[in-house]
Amino acid sequence: MTSLTEVAFEAERPSRRLEPVSLYGLTSGLAWGAVAAGALIWPDVGDWLETQRFAVAAAVFGAGFVAIAVAGRWLLRAGAWIREAGPWLTVSGIVLALWQVASAKFGWLPLPFFPPPQALLEVYTEDYAKLGDSVFASLRLLVVGFAIGAAFGFFAGVAIGWSRRAGYWVHPVLRFIGPLPATAWLPIAFFAFPSSWSASIFLIALATGFPVTVLTWSGIASVDGRYYDVARTLGAKPLFLVLRVAIPAALPHVFVGLFMALGSAFSVLMVAELMGVKAGIGFYMQWAQGWASYANVYAALVVLALLCSGSITLLFRLRDRVLSWQKGLVQW
């Protein structure tokens, strides 16, 4: 006869029941398989060199999605991922198939403005060197300008939030210059600085500095005064209050300012590269548009989207590490 202790133990022991195969994982595999089949079966209207390689890549993705859906019965993380991403993967496969049919197979979309997806793959396989150099140039420009603007904005925000004297002198300048779009300074910046690269650094730093300054200042000013009182009763000096009380308490506001500044920095980066800088993704897109190579333009847009999303993801990872007590509060 089974005892009550054994019954309780059986109830608490985790179930080893296999998870069902994700339906969306299978449909995503079928959708991407349809992309591959359509690319191989139907003849192309134009001369697209990468159709076969595009079909192979789509087939690999489709088989991979099906494999993840099946393996998700045992691998819980993989199963959870394919169940969550499956609808998007299915719809993306359908959209890709319709795009290919409307462009490469029947020519319904006018060229050169709407090239087929294999034309983008051709850009990545043939022009990867120039595109990679453009990405590196944009990253260097963005990192330098963003770092300078974030550092200046952080120290200015701490100074304004902590010191009334600093707030008296800096706040009016901030209210006058800060709300202006950084791109409004383009004529002055390209005249005042010795090179278009340094002028672009200034514009990116200017676009970054304002939101970081305002949010840091807000964070410092909103710190509960009781924290300072407790620290003073323990003998804390003003420098300790700033470094160990005010700044840590203001970090959530600082990261909000950094997120806002990153979006502004990317906007100014594109404008600067389109206007004066002779390198970068913006310059590459302008050059491709001049030659009516819209496949290169779209390929650069995809790379730019991945670059923006990756930068925000890295900033979120840094935020979750620094503010571990707020991890998961804001999702990306």
Q: Are 258 and 219 in contact (CB under 8 A)?
A: no
Q: Is residue 292 included in any domain, yes or no? A: yes
Q: Is residue 7 included in any domain, yes or no? A: no
Instruction: Report pLDDT for 212.
Output: 95
Asked if residue 82 and residue 183 are part of one domain, the reply reads: no
Asked if residue 136 and residue 244 are part of one domain, the reply reads: yes
* Residues 6 or more apart whose Cβ sits within 8 Å of residue 147: none
Instruction: Report pLDDT for 16.
Output: 46
- For residues 278 and 272, what is the distance between their CA atoms, to the nearest angstrom? 10
**How many domains would you assign to the chain?**
2
* Residues 6 or more apart whose Cβ sits within 8 Å of residue 99: 116, 117
**46 vs 132 pLDDT, higher one:** 132
Instruction: Report pLDDT for 12.
Output: 45
Closest by Cα among 216, 188, 217 to 203 = 188
- For residues 327 and 317, what is the distance between their CA atoms, to the nearest angstrom? 9
Which of the listed residues 75, 110, 145 is the one where a domain comes to its end?
110
Range of the domain at 21: 17-110
pTM of the model: 0.84
**137 vs 328 pLDDT, higher one:** 137
- Which residue blocks in the chain are alpha helix, DSSP H? 4-12, 23-41, 51-71, 76-100, 117-126, 128-162, 164-177, 186-192, 196-221, 225-233, 238-240, 247-275, 281-290, 294-322
CATH number for position 217: 1.10.3720.10
Q: Is residue 217 included in any domain, yes or no? A: yes
Instruction: Report pLDDT for 228.
Output: 86
pLDDT tens for each residue of 251-286: 999 999 999 999 999 999 988 887 777 888 989 998
Q: Is residue 224 included in any domain, yes or no? A: yes
pLDDT tens for each residue of 88-97: 999 999 999 9
Asked if residue 271 and residue 206 are part of one domain, the reply reads: yes
Q: Is residue 117 included in any domain, yes or no? A: no
Asked if residue 172 and residue 65 are part of one domain, the reply reads: no
Instruction: Report pLDDT for 20.
Output: 64
Q: Is residue 121 included in any domain, yes or no? A: no
